[in-house]
Structure 1
Amino acid sequence: MITCTQFQSGHLEIERSGTVATLWMTRADKHNAFDETLIDDLARASRAMGEDDAVRVVVLAGRGKSFSAGGDLDWMRRAAGYGIDQNRADADALAAMLRTIAELPKPTIARVHGAALGGGMGLACACDIAVASDNAVFATSEVRFGLIPATIGPYVLRAIGARQALRYFQTAERIDSARALQIGLVHEVVASDALDTKIAEIVSALSTGGPNAQAASKRLIADLAGQPVDDALVADTADRIARIRATDEAREGLGAFLDKRAAAWTQRA
């Protein structure tokens, strides 16, 4: 059964199908470019899906021809007239929204087609998994406007690394889907008509994992990234696995494996 919830602003629609929630950006006429309202809608919807135990996977997608073309021109024009305090509040809202998506305690998938520019590229990188159609194009285009990709920077850097970022943050070159796959910006590239099939395959794979274990795995990656392998790190990882082994979810997972049956969470997916 598929149910939809339309945000009052009309900028975002939540589509629920089983345990999957798809957040559809609906500013198709603006190529799903950001403004204050869309940023707020994405933040609120992401928090709601993160707190909803019935949701196992969150997919981020865009209606129309593009995933997201970055900042709305009218929004950017307004920001150009702001003082430092107003600009900081605006930037804080965007940064908080991206962090909410990046730290969601469940798997997130970016469904990318068409343009994913500036903040749109940041959205894709903030998600755990990115699947792109072969017509997708990316760019950190901020320097062309005399700006920098600051709020999206941590997530883009996490995806493509500092070496690639040194090029693309400064050149603002367009990155086609093949190049995006090559540099680790996306995990999969498929034909446009195969995009939803590929996402369904990944969702199916995600449904086999324990939800608490997946959330703990995300925290593990965030905490391990860039850390030296020293005594403290080794002790921390041993403590984490010891603690999770003692959970009901781990007992169910091991029991299901030994009994040659599907785990309870798979049956609910």
Structure 2
Amino acid sequence: MKPAKTISIIELLSEYSTEHKAVKWLEKIRWNKKPICPHCGGVENVSKQRSKKHTYWHKDCRKQFTVKTNTIMHASKIPTQKWVVAIYYILTARKGISSLQLSKELGITQKSAWYMLQRIREACKQGSFKLSNVVEVDETYIGGKEKNKHANKKLNGGRGAVGKTAVFGMKERGGKVKAMVTRHTNKSTLQGNIHNNIQAKSTVYTDNFRGYLGLSGFTHKTVNHSAKEFVNGMAHTNGIESVWAVLKRGYNGTFHNISTKHLNRYR
């Protein structure tokens, strides 16, 4: 199966050079050929509004709508053309794009760009599902180093993970990734997340962190990082660690700071 071809930003802007082209593209994606009323699901007795561009009227439920109704673009005054470009950036920027940078690219306020980014990220959620087969599991910590903080912000509680936010992640080999902010990295929390998100009897690879000891219901194999062991046969966590590498490059190079409150939005 060949990977999907990513078009360039020049090709994108040429393809959707006007608001009309952008709306028509969205209508084709959402409805194919025939508009469907998002209020009642009806397809009959739908007509175009003459007084309003790209607006439809459904005679049966007596409501008007556009292709953006009940979507992440609902009631937004930002042109569809700019939404298309924003979606392109968030899907192609490997390390992410900040709201400040997006605001400059689109010619809108930083507040509007932040709103768009959070809406698009919300739409990218894939719902509830469980990973299976071979799954790599690991945890990481996001946040600034204690030594780089102002004196009044230092916790003076030690090194390493002090003052950082824990993120727990699972990567199915050749498949999807699930990650979540977690308040604790103890045995009950980590193993509870594994049971909730990975199908029973799957093969789970972890490091030798004590929180994974005694994991039952799975074929569990570990690598001993503390002894400089990074691969043990087929057992390794290189895949999920690559996910953390991309996350941290985005944190350090693009976003610079992500609050614990909003960190889950950057999955």
TM-score, reference length from structure 1 = 0.28
Name whichever structure is richer in helix by fraction: 1
TM-score, reference length from structure 2 = 0.29
